[in-house]
Amino acid sequence: MLKPGLLLAVGLGSAIGALLRYGCSWWLATPVDTLPLATLLVNVIGSFWIGCYASLTGPGGRWQVSDWQKQFMLSGVCAGFTTFSIFSLEVMQLVQAEKQLLAAGYMVLSLLLWLMACGAGLWLGAAQK
C-alpha cells in the first residue's frame, strides 16, 4: 500500500529535481539545431549521482537512510533532474533539422558518458563503504 508520506517525499523530490533541471537548461541554453549541452551534462551528473547514492545507501552501504529518504532522492530528485524524455525530443529535433550525424553522435556520446558516470558513481560509493 502506498503511504502518503512516501508519495509526498517523491513529489517534493521530483519538484526539486525539475527545478534544478530547468535552471541548468536556462544557464546552458543552446539553439535547437546544436548539441544540447544542458541535457548532456544533466544526465552525466544525474547518472553519476544516482549510482553513487544507490551504492552508498544500498545493502552494506555507508549511509543508513529510511525508505522515504531513498525514494525522495532516487525516485524524486534524480528522476526529476535527469531527462530522457527531453533527450528523445532533442534527438528528433536534430533529425528534423537534417542534422542526422549530430543526432547520432549525441545519442552515442550521451549513452557512453551516462553509463561511465553511473559506473564511476557505483565504484566511488562502494569505495566509501
Q: What is the pLDDT of residue 68?
A: 93
Q: What is the pLDDT of residue 116?
A: 98
Q: What is the pLDDT of residue 32?
A: 81
In tens digits, what is the pLDDT along the chain, a chain of 129 residues?
Answer: 788 899 999 999 999 999 999 999 999 988 888 999 999 999 999 999 999 999 999 888 899 999 999 999 999 999 999 978 889 989 999 999 999 999 999 999 999 999 999 999 999 999 987
- Count of domains in the chain? 1
Question: What DSSP line would sit under 17-80, residue for residue?
Answer: HHHHHHHHHHHT---TTS--HHHHHHHHHHHHHHHHHHHHHSTT-S----HHHHHIIIIIIIHH
What is the Cα–Cα distance from 32 to 91, expressed in whole angstroms? Answer: 10
Domain carrying residue 107: 4-128
* Three-class SS state of 97: coil
Q: What is the pLDDT of residue 91?
A: 94
Q: What is the pLDDT of residue 31?
A: 86
pTM: 0.78
